[in-house]
């Protein structure tokens, strides 16, 4: 369905959006969604030493790889990483286009219409990919303040092993791709609401940068925190583990992070009791959930306390 020749047309008047009625050639919905926007230019990611890295279709992915590069290029425990922030200028025309598209998407398949609306919403500045840069900056601060240089070096070594694979996959992803990945992440969180409520084993899940986004009441009781504390990244998995256990986790995670043939690891760890400050030995397994591009999205961990006989 399209507007008639009058301005404002009768269809827009009926929808109370007559002030936004105008002549405009609609782009092909599927092509626009795949390109992440008509005027989106690839971003060149560089490290803070001025070395030119590769070009990324998404600013968010470029920022994430830049932070990983900085981790590996700068081994000084006293130098902090400057997080790159992308500022997007949203014009009134982009917002008007989104409202018009949402009110009357282009005729076609349901998937094409959905992509058209998502792309218009992104162009209007209402949708943004998740910013992993802050997670890496938080991890670096923790390593600088709480870990020995040797432990820090081992974790950085892990990042160096999966960086090339991560970079190759991430280079072609657009912001719209990442927004759809984040939508899938939110659906997984809802699925694990049901899973966690049905299991009596202490469990939690976190993003690839370590921020915990969900945990069950058994895990909250195990480490002695309110279950609300296990939401939205208030705690990180490396903040509740002993140093050696944190390094062990990162090394095992790095070995299989981008290997689609493997997804689960069984090991052990020491968890910190948050009020008593004592270490609790646990059997620990974690499973990596990946998105359709084979990038780790969620890591699900199960913990069984080990009773030490006196």
Name the DSSP letter for residue 49: T
HEC per residue, 52-81? EEEEECCHHHHHHHHHHHHHHHCCCCCCCC
pLDDT digits (tens, 9 = 90+) for 276-304: 999 999 999 999 999 999 999 999 999 99
User: Do 75 and 153 contact (CB within 8 A), yes or no?
Assistant: yes
Give me the half-sphere count of Cα atoms (radius 13 Å) on the Cβ side of residue 229. Answer: 14
Can you tell me the mean pLDDT for 86-103? 58
What is the model's pLDDT at position 259? 92
pTM score above 0.85: no
Can you tell me the mean pLDDT for 201-222? 96
How far out from the chain centre does Cα 223 lie? 25
Can you tell me the mean pLDDT for 179-183? 86
pLDDT digits (tens, 9 = 90+) for 45-70: 544 444 444 567 777 777 887 878 77
Instruction: Specify whether the backbone of 78 is left (phi greater than 0), alpha (psi in -120 to 50) or beta.
Output: alpha
């Amino acid at each position: 369905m399209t507007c008639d020749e009058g301005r404002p047309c009768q269809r827009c008047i009926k929808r109370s959006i007559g002030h936004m009625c105008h002549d405009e050639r609609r782009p092909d919905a599927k092509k626009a969604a795949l390109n992440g926007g008509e005027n989106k230019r690839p971003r060149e990611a560089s490290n803070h030493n001025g070395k030119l890295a590769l070009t990324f279709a998404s600013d968010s992915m470029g920022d994430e790889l830049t932070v990983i590069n900085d981790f590996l290029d700068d081994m000084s425990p006293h130098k902090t990483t400057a997080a790159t922030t992308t500022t997007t200028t949203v014009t009134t025309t982009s917002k008007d286009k989104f409202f018009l598209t949402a009110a009357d998407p282009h005729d076609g398949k349901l998937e094409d219409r959905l992509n058209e609306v998502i792309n218009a919403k992104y162009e209007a500045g209402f949708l943004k990919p998740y910013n992993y840069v802050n997670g890496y900056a938080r991890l670096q601060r923790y390593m600088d303040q709480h870990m020995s240089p040797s432990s820090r070096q081992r974790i950085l070594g892990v990042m160096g092993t999966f960086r090339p694979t991560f970079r190759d996959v991430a280079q072609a992803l657009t912001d719209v791709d990442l927004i759809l990945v984040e939508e899938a992440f939110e659906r997984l969180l809802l699925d694990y609401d049901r899973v966690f409520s049905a299991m009596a084993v202490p469990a939690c899940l976190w993003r690839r940068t370590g921020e915990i986004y969900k945990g069950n009441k058994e895990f909250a009781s195990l480490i002695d925190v309110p279950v609300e504390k296990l939401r939205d990244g208030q705690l990180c998995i490396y903040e509740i583990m002993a140093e050696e256990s944190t390094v062990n986790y990162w090394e095992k995670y790095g070995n299989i992070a981008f290997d689609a043939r493997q997804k689960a690891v069984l090991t052990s760890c020491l968890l910190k009791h948050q009020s008593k400050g004592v270490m609790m030995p646990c059997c620990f397994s974690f499973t990596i959930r990946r998105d359709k591009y084979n990038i780790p999205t969620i890591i699900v961990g199960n913990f069984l306390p080990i009773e030490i006989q006196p």
